[in-house]
Amino acid sequence: MHRVFLDANVLFSAAYREGAGLLNLWKLADVELVTSGYAAEEARRNLDTQDRRARLERLLAAVAIVAEAPSTMLPTPVLLPNKDEPILRAAIATGATHLLTGDLRDFGRLLGRRIGGVLVQTPSEFLRSR
């Protein structure tokens, strides 16, 4: 079974548009979806309508929300903006097999790499590999 950590932008995108292709992640039988309270709150903050926030809450009901990871150093030579470090630290600490993100600006150079045992991918890369 894959333990797949969802970045805030993946949660946001899945909730933003009804019928989004990302919703296929929630249909996979051999996948446990996880995120952190930090990522869930970031997605909530950025959704602009009550309908979208309600859709997010329905999606989060099927996602394990894990505790924040301790403020430990990331494996070198990984450098991320301060706002993204808690995402990768939580994915590593929870034993995720994958971290799915659409944040190409900050996570782009990590795509396709295993960091602390976690494979960083875009959702579309992950879904194509299924």
pLDDT at 72: 72
Range of the domain at 110: 2-128
Q: Which residues pair with 2 in a beta bridge?
A: 31
pLDDT at 75: 73
What single string gives the DSSP state of each residue in 37-71?
HHHHHHHHHH--SHHHHHHHHHHHTTSEEEPPPPS
Q: How many domains does the chain have?
A: 1
pLDDT (tens digit, 9 = 90+) per residue, 100-125? 999 999 999 999 999 999 999 999 99
| Mean pLDDT within 13-29 | 95
* Residue 46 pLDDT exceeds 90: yes
The chain-wide mean pLDDT, for the chain, equals 93
CATH number assigned to the domain comprising residue 52: 3.40.50.1010
pLDDT (tens digit, 9 = 90+) per residue, 67-86? 887 777 777 778 788 899 99
Q: What is the percent of the chain with per-residue pLDDT over 90, rounded to a whole number?
A: 85
DSSP label at residue 17: S
* Residue 48 pLDDT exceeds 80: yes
